Amino acid sequence: MNNAERVQPLNNLKNRDVLTLLDFTAEEMHDLIHLAESLKEDKKSRPVYPLLEGKSLGMIFENASTRTRVSFETGMTQLGGHALFLSPRDMQIGRGEPVKDTANVLSRYVDGIMIRTNSHETVEELAAHADVPVINALTDSYHPCQALADLLTIKEHKGKLKGLKAAFVGDGNNVAHSFLIACLKAGMEASLAVPKGYEPDEEIWKEIEKTAEHHQASLTLTHSPQEAVQGADVIYTDVWASMGFEEEQGAREKDFSGFQINETLCADADSSFIFMHCLPAHRGEEVSAGIIDGIHSVVYDEAENRLHAQKALLASIM
C-alpha cells in the first residue's frame, strides 16, 4: 500500500462537529487512530501532505495554551492549510457579540472552527449556528482531542488497546471524563480514583456508565488510589487545581493528600505500566519527579501525538 492509499481522510466524518467522544463510534475512533498513525509515519518523508490545501481553521482561545495552539496551528500548516489565532481581545465576541453572530460570520470566512473555552454550552451554541465543523479543543466538561492523542500514545507503547487496564487518579474533571469515554470505547478496563467531593459531573458520569455498559467494559469509581492502580497498564493524572480553580490550590493540596502518583503507589501497577499526563505538570504535587521523568513516563510522546491525532481529525472533518 502506497502513501496515497494509506493517508486517506475518513469521508464518513466529513463536516462532523467534534464536541465530545460520546458522539463517535468505537469504529470511528479506531479509524481516526489508524489515520493518525499513518500521518505520523508519513511525516518522516513528507513534511507537508496537502489534504487541506487552501482551507482555513479559525482558532478561538479564551484561555492560555501551549500544546493546543501549537499542535493545531502546525497541523494545519502540515496539511497545506492555514490557521488563524483568535483571542477574545481581538474579536467582538469578547465585547459581548452573541455566539450566534460569531458562528454565522466565521462560517462565511473559514472552513472549520476550533474553540478552547470554559463553558461547554458555548461550544454547543457555536456548533448549532455554524455552517462549518466545530471542534472542542477543551471545555470545563470535555477534552476530546486530548483523549484521541492519549489512545494513539497507548497503542504505540502497548501495541494494542483492547484488554488493557487504565487508571485515572486525581480530579474527576474534563480530562478524566474524556479519557474514560475513550478507553471504554476502545475496549479497555477503566478505573477512576478521586478524593471525596471531587467525583465526576453526575450527568456526565451517567453517560460514562452507559458507555461502559454498551461496550461491555469494566468501569470502577473509587476513593482509593491503590485500588484503582492495582494491575494497571496505564496510569494517568492531571493537576489538582485546573485552570479556573487556582484559588483552591491550598485546599486541594490537603484534599488530594495520598493521591500523588509516586513510586510507592505505582508498585501496585503492572511492572511495564506507562505514566501519562496531559501537561502542564506540577512535580512534587500530583506526580513525583521520579515518575514523570522516569522510564515509565510517555508524557512527551503524548504531547507530540496531539499533533498527529488532530491532523487526522482535521483532515477528515474538513
Q: Are strands 165-169 and 234-237 parallel, antiparallel or unpaired?
A: parallel
DSSP state letter for 140: S
In this structure, the number of other CB atoms found within 10 A of the CB of residue 285 comes to 17
Q: What angle do CA 264, 267, 268 make, to 5 degrees?
A: 115
Q: Could you tell me if 256 and 284 are in contact, meaning their C-beta atoms sit under 8 angstroms apart?
A: no
**Cis peptide bond upstream of 50, omega within 30:** no
Choose the catalytic residue: 120, 143, 296, 308: 143
95 included as an active-site residue: no
Residues contributing to the annotated binding site for carbamoyl phosphate:
65-68, 92, 116, 143-146, 278-279, 306
140 included as an active-site residue: no
Q: Could you tell me if 75 and 36 are in contact, meaning their C-beta atoms sit under 8 angstroms apart?
A: no
Among 140, 135, 229, 211, CA closest to 176? 140
306 included as an active-site residue: yes
Question: In sequence order, which residues have a C-beta less than 8 Å from that of residue 34 and are 6 or more positions away?
Answer: none
Q: What angle do CA 298, 281, 224 make, to 5 degrees?
A: 85
Residues contributing to the annotated binding site for L-ornithine:
174, 238, 242-243
Residues contributing to the annotated binding site:
65-68, 92, 116, 143-146, 174, 238, 242-243, 278-279, 306
Choose the catalytic residue: 30, 183, 238, 252: 238
Q: Could you tell me if 305 and 3 are in contact, meaning their C-beta atoms sit under 8 angstroms apart?
A: no
Choose the catalytic residue: 16, 30, 277, 278: 278
252 included as an active-site residue: no
Q: Could you tell me if 34 and 5 are in contact, meaning their C-beta atoms sit under 8 angstroms apart?
A: no
Distance of CA 215 to the CA centre of its chain: 20
278 included as an active-site residue: yes
116 included as an active-site residue: yes
Q: Are strands 189-193 and 165-169 parallel, antiparallel or unpaired?
A: parallel
Q: Which residues are catalytic?
A: 116, 143, 146, 238, 278, 306
